[in-house]
């Protein structure tokens, strides 16, 4: 895993561009503490920071040239089927000087061309590839969006150029990068707590979407951005050809896919472990690792909280014993989390407000020094219907039987009920106040968008805000023939998974110089999951049925049938106590007016209500705090 960067600007000498590429790479030093490289030629320079995972020798250093010298690459990630590709390419006459997957990638491009080569890769990756013959830059991002890639256009006329990097902070090192804020992106952030691709917080920059290639030749006005793999088409194919069996048959068909995906993700020249919470996803991953490892030990790591309400280490220990794992508990305290909160915008260099980002990073920080690669269970909830909110499809089915006018009236009455009255109902009252507006949803698409939103009208809270579309509003993402469960899964895989879950995992792990890998994010597993009807994934209101069936081969069901546990900060309580001073400094009227991004009066009203006891909007307040904290770090400070 690494940090990649580069710049293409026609007519500018390499000696002028190489220092820029080096500065971009150095801004991402945590992504690659093991080495730094820069390569340049007239009009182009590539930079790289290396986290050595495969071929730790200098033969694995980057930027790397292809054998013919035609291609130069700055690559981040892993090609998990590189050994098979290497064998095939050797048979075609290619000679390899080292043992890295990057060298195999370059040979594949020389043999088949960029577009055909990437279709053959099984992996998680993002790269910039310079074709010295065609004077063309290729950008590529893996199918699910595990690894990030940002780009921006700079300059004008004949001097117009393109820059790219793993993180936005690298683009900010360029003296002519435009840091003007995209207020439409701010509006999306306030709704979702993340900024969906292709947008970024800056008007000038874009994220390359998952499964896309971009081609840019010197002199082009814009890159040509095209898909090489379509998640939407995968789901459509799955709907057209549904899996014919139930959970048991699905488990049998899934097992060889997961075995292969897990085995491939254990390949490394550095120590590998597994993050074990004791839940279904991580436990099954650990079980498959134990099986693949043979007689070799498998190290499992669990975060241990001093606060019993959040601690899962005892349960995870029982799972580890059942599987025969070497188990280590990584201690984390509330004080550790509190100390980390103010520095979160340094790692997440655009606004991001999934509150589990803090404990997730601390886990990887504790892991560093133990292993360099950690397998996780990311993606299993989306693939196999694990989220509790998927049960809301049935709730809306009952609600929509009522006339829309009556539902709108009920929603209005709930909205006007004083918060203190609803609070008398306890947690149910708080949820009712937050969810009451869903009663007025005109259709299921609007209902689900509202269900996963932190505010129903974010444009009213953002100064100068207007809300653009996303897959949750795009009619093209209404899949013909999809039942509501699979429609929700598809929406989540198109937005929540790449833009929240995987952004969190990437920044949290790379901020500690650890590589995270998940077998459930293998695109072949996703393609199989897209074919599973509800009867194959859900029984008696419980999802992940194929995973449950598989896991029961290795341990008693009593170890994994407990309720799903959360992994987040106690934001609701801390904002009124431990984080109150920090929150007040960011949400003071003067701070809000200085940033000029949010309606100061409206945000102050939310903050004052929270301090007075109405904690029902703590998630929205966390969004506002992370936005303000990001602004103070990256825009408000003169040294940014």
Q: What distance lies between CA 459 and its chain's CA centroid?
A: 25
Rounded Cα distance, 435 and 599, in Å:
23
Residue with tokens 């879950």: 501
What are the backbone dihedrals phi and psi of residue 88, each rounded to the nearest 5 degrees, phi first? -65, -45
Which of 293, 302, 294 lies closest to 321, judged by CA? 302
Structure tokens that stand for 333 in this block = 């305290």
Interaxial angle between packed helices 502-510 and 357-367, expressed in degrees from 0 to 180 and rounded to the nearest 10: 40
Which of 567, 628, 597, 571 lies closest to 345, judged by CA? 628
What are the backbone dihedrals phi and psi of residue 76, each rounded to the nearest 5 degrees, phi first? -125, 125
CA dihedral 16, 22, 24, 28 (to 10 degrees): 180
Which of 14, 104, 114 lies closest to 60, judged by CA? 104
Q: What distance lies between CA 48 and its chain's CA centroid?
A: 22
Structure tokens that stand for 129 in this block = 């590839």
What are the backbone dihedrals phi and psi of residue 93, each rounded to the nearest 5 degrees, phi first? 105, 0
Residue 383 annotated in active site: no
DSSP per residue over 216-263, as a string?
EETT-SS-EEEESS-HHHHHHHHHHS---S-HHHHHHHHHHHHHHHHH
Rounded Cα distance, 514 and 364, in Å:
7
Q: Are 3 and 76 in contact (CB under 8 A)?
A: yes
Q: Which of 2, 140, 414, 421 is catalytic?
A: 2
Q: Which secondary structure element, helix H or strand E, spans residue 493, and what is its range?
A: helix 484-494
CA dihedral 313, 314, 319, 321 (to 10 degrees): 110
**Cα angle vertex 401, ends 399, 405, to 5°?**
85
Which of 325, 271, 249 lies closest to 532, judged by CA? 249
Q: Are 239 and 533 in contact (CB under 8 A)?
A: no
Rounded Cα distance, 628 and 247, in Å:
46
Rounded Cα distance, 34 and 517, in Å:
19
Q: Edge-to-edge strands of the sheet including 299-305? A: 326-332, 299-305, 272-275, 373-375, 515-517
Contacts of residue 495, Cβ cutoff 8 Å, sequence gap at least 6: 192, 196, 470, 471, 472
What amino acid positions are annotated as catalytic residues? 2
């Amino acid at each position: 895993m690494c940090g990649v960067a580069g710049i293409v600007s026609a007519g500018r000498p390499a000696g002028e561009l190489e220092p820029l590429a080096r500065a971009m790479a150095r801004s991402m030093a945590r992504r690659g503490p093991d080495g730094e490289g820069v390569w340049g030629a007239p009009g182009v320079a590539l930079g790289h920071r290396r986290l050595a995972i495969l071929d730790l020798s200098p033969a694995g250093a980057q930027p790397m040239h292809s054998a013919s010298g035609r291609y130069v690459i700055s690559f981040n990630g892993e090609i998990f089927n590189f050994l098979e590709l290497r064998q095939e390419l050797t048979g075609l006459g290619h000679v390899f000087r080292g043992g890295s997957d990057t060298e195999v990638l370059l040979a594949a491009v020389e043999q088949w061309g960029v577009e055909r080569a990437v279709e053959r890769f099984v992996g998680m990756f993002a790269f910039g590839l310079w074709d010295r013959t065609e004077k063309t830059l290729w950008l590529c991002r893996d199918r699910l969006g595990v690894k990030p890639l940002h780009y921006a256009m700079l300059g004008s006329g004949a001097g117009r150029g393109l820059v790219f990097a793993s993180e936005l902070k690298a683009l900010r090192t360029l003296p002519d990068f435009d840091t003007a804020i995209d207020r439409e992106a701010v509006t999306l952030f306030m709704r979702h707590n993340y900024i969906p691709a292709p947008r970024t917080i800056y008007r000038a920059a874009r994220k390359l979407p998952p499964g896309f290639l971009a081609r840019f030749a010197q002199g082009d006005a814009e890159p040509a951005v095209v898909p090489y793999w379509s998640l939407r088409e995968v789901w459509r194919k799955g709907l057209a050809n549904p899996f014919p069996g139930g959970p048991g048959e699905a488990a049998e068909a899934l097992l060889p896919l997961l075995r292969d995906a897990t085995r491939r993700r254990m390949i490394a020249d550095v120590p590998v472990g597994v993050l074990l919470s004791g839940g279904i996803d991580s436990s099954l991953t650990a079980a498959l690792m134990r099986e693949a490892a043979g007689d070799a030990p498998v190290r499992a790591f669990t975060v241990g909280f001093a606060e019993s309400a959040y601690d899962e280490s005892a349960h995870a220990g029982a799972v580890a014993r059942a599987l025969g794992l070497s188990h280590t508990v990584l201690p984390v305290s509330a004080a550790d989390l509190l100390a980390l909160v103010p520095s979160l915008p340094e790692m997440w260099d655009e606004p991001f407000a999934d509150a589990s980002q803090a404990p997730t990073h601390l886990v990887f920080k504790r892991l560093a020094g133990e292993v360099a690669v950690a397998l996780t269970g990311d993606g299993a909830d989306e693939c196999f219907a694990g989220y509790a909110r998927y049960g809301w499809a049935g709730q809306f089915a009952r609600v929509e039987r009522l006339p829309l006018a009556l539902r709108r009236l009920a929603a209005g009455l709930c909205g006007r009920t004083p918060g203190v009255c609803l609070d008398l109902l306890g947690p149910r009252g708080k949820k009712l106040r937050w969810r009451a507006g869903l009663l007025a949803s005109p259709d299921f698409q609007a209902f689900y968008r509202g269900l996963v939103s932190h505010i129903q009208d974010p444009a009213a809270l953002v100064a100068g805000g207007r809300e653009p579309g996303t897959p949750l509003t795009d009619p093209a993402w209404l899949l013909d023939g999809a039942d509501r469960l699979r429609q929700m899964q598809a929406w989540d895989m198109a937005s929540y998974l790449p833009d929240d879950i995987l952004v969190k995992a990437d920044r949290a792990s790379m901020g500690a110089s650890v590589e995270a890998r998940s077998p459930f994010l293998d695109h072949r597993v996703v393609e199989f999951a897209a074919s599973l009807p509800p009867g194959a994934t859900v029984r008696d209101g419980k999802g992940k049925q194929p995973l449950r069936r598989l896991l029961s081969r290795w341990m008693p069901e009593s170890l994994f049938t407990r309720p799903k546990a959360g992994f987040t900060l106690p934001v609701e309580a801390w904002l009124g106590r431990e984080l109150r001073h920090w929150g007040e400094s960011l949400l003071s009227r003067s701070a809000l007016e200085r940033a000029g991004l949010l309606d100061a009066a409206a945000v102050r009203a939310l903050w004052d209500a929270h301090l007075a006891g109405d904690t029902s909007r703590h998630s929205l307040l966390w969004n506002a705090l992370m936005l303000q904290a990001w602004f103070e770090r990256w825009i408000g400070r003169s040294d940014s």
